[in-house]
Amino acid sequence: MTILFDHNVQDIEEDETKKTKQNDVDAVTDLVLEAGFLHPDPPQLQISSSGFIAPVVNAFGHAFRAYDAQGQRQKGVENFYRLNHIHQTFDFVKRMREEYSKLDKMEMSIWECCELLNEVVDESDPDLDEPQIEHLLQTAEAIRKDYPDEDWLHLTALIHDLGKVLLLPKFGGLPQWAVVGDTHPLGCAFDESIVHHKYFIDNPDCQNPAYNTKNGVYEEGCGLDNVTISWGHDDYMYLVAKENKTKLPSSGLFIIRYHSFYPLHRCGAYTHLMNDEDKANLKWLHIFNKYDLYSKSKVRVDVEKVKPYYLTLIKKYFPEKLRW
Ligand SMILES: O[C@H]1[C@H](O)[C@@H](O)[C@H](O)[C@@H](O)[C@H]1O
Ligand SMILES: [Fe+2]
Ligand SMILES: [Fe+2]
């Protein structure tokens, strides 16, 4: 089997190498092997310098995040991004943040929310068509295996996509383009690395010269907290966690808030807007992203078996009931 090194994340991983034992990092591989879509030839695993083993193909037999591949699912995904890029404007995001900061939609616990995600399927995702609760547990269990001592990271993984409840009628029933998919800043130029960039041509913000330069309405180094990012499940869950006074560390909140910001954490775009705290937190986001992306598989996690562990974490970091 060919071994490919993932240079993108290499520098962060060097610090982590000690923590990560080779025979402890096969959670993802196990899941994929059991599902039976790995073959020794051609090579279907990538091994990064830390020993993290990532499958090269997704459950549909395509490369991960292959937005330009042919197929029915890709067509739906492209249409999703067309709508997302046309309708997410600076003003739209401001209105959404105002509305959802009220947290007046619902009262419930974190676990109750996990169960609600059983109803949710994400149309923006070329790699997954399982109910979202599977994805939450797959991500959390995979990261738990490799980072057994970082319980905050396990819980962060479990809750990172809970914001997708915005799709449900009780939470306003927002359309998919306002909830899922990758995110990007508004109020400055749309970077070429954004998936299906061509559709921004019909976004009204393109007509506003103040929004069309590299810095736009921002100052270099202003910090991501001061940047308006397209509205969706990331920012909503960040608001919920913060306003309900979670005890998660700032790196956990950063992961939740920016995990869909692929132009930044995959492509290195918009880094000029970061401050020092963002840079420190980005290291954890890089680690998290591998598990978020490559743990997507058809192999189900036994929910009842792992539930007691996650309930203790929820109790440690969150109040019993949260306002949503
Ligand atoms: O399609 C996916 C999905 O919606 C994820 O939850 C999100 O975090 C990713 O950025 C996106 O590409
Ligand atoms: Fe997500
Ligand atoms: Fe996710």
Q: Whose CA is nearest to atom 8 of ligand 1?
A: 260
Instruction: Report the candidate in 57, 62, 34 with the shortest Cα–Cα distance to residue 44.
Output: 57
At residue 80, what is the residue type?
F
Give pLDDT, residue 132: 83
The answer to whether the annotation marks 135 as part of a ligand binding site is yes
Residues 261 and 273: their CA atoms lie apart, in Å, by 13
Q: Is 48 annotated as a binding residue?
A: no
Output the CA 142–ligand 3 centroid distance in Å.
12
- Compute, in angstroms, the gap from residue 204 CA to the centroid of ligand 1: 24
Closest-lying ligand 1 atom to the alpha carbon of residue 161: 6
213 in Cβ contact with 188 (< 8 Å): yes
What is the predicted ipTM? 0.97
| 187 is an annotated ligand-binding site residue | no
Q: Which of 74, 138, 182, 183 to mutate to test the pocket of ligand 1 (most atoms within 8 A of CB)?
A: 182
pLDDT, position 52: 61
Looking at residue 314, the DSSP 8-state letter turns out to be: H
What would the DSSP string read from start to end of 163-220? GGGGGSGGGT---GGGTSS---BSSSPPPTTSTTGGGGGG-GGGG-GGGSSSSTTS-T
Q: Give the pLDDT confidence score for residue 126 in this predicted structure.
A: 84
pLDDT of residue 51: 52
**Would you say 122 is a known binding-site residue?**
yes
User: Which atom of ligand 1 approaches the CA of 262 most closely?
Assistant: 10
Distance 180 CA to ligand 1 centre (A): 6
Name which of 7, 37, 26 is nearest 299 in CA terms: 37
pLDDT at 62: 84
Atom of ligand 1 nearest to the CA of 195: 12
Ligand 1 atom index nearest CA of 261: 10
Of all ligands present, the nearest one to the C-alpha of 139 is 3
C-alpha distance from residue 50 to each of 5, 9, 175, 247 (Å): 9, 9, 39, 29
C-alpha distances out from residue 232 to 105, 146, 183, Å: 16, 29, 8
Q: Pick from 82, 241, 256: which is nearest to 153 by CA?
A: 256
- Confirm whether residue 205 is marked as ligand binding: no
Identify the residues whose C-beta falls under 6 Å from ligand 1: 122, 124-125, 161, 180-182, 259-260, 262
Q: What is the pLDDT of residue 254?
A: 98
The pTM score is: 0.85
Is 164 annotated in a binding site? The answer is: yes
pLDDT at 107: 98
Strand partners, 322: 108
Rounded to whole angstroms, the Cα distance separating 286 from 234 reads 16
Neighbours of 253 (CB within 10 A): 17
Among 122, 156, 238, 290, name the best residue to mutate to test ligand 1's pocket (greatest count of ligand atoms within 8 A of Cβ). 122
Looking from the CA of 110 toward its CB, the CA atoms found within 13 Å total 25
User: What pLDDT, on a 0 to 100 scale, did the predictor assign at position 203?
Assistant: 98
Per-residue pLDDT of the chain (324 residues), as tens digits, is 222 223 333 333 334 433 333 333 333 333 333 332 233 233 345 555 445 677 878 887 888 898 988 888 889 999 999 999 999 999 999 999 999 999 999 999 999 999 999 888 899 988 888 778 889 999 999 999 999 999 999 999 999 999 999 999 999 999 999 999 999 999 999 999 999 999 999 999 999 999 999 999 999 999 999 999 999 999 999 999 999 999 999 999 999 999 999 999 999 999 999 999 999 999 999 999 999 998 887 788 899 999 999 999 999 999 999 999
**How far does the centroid of ligand 2 lie from the alpha carbon of residue 289, in Å?**
10
Tell me the CA–centroid distance for residue 233 and ligand 1, in Å: 9
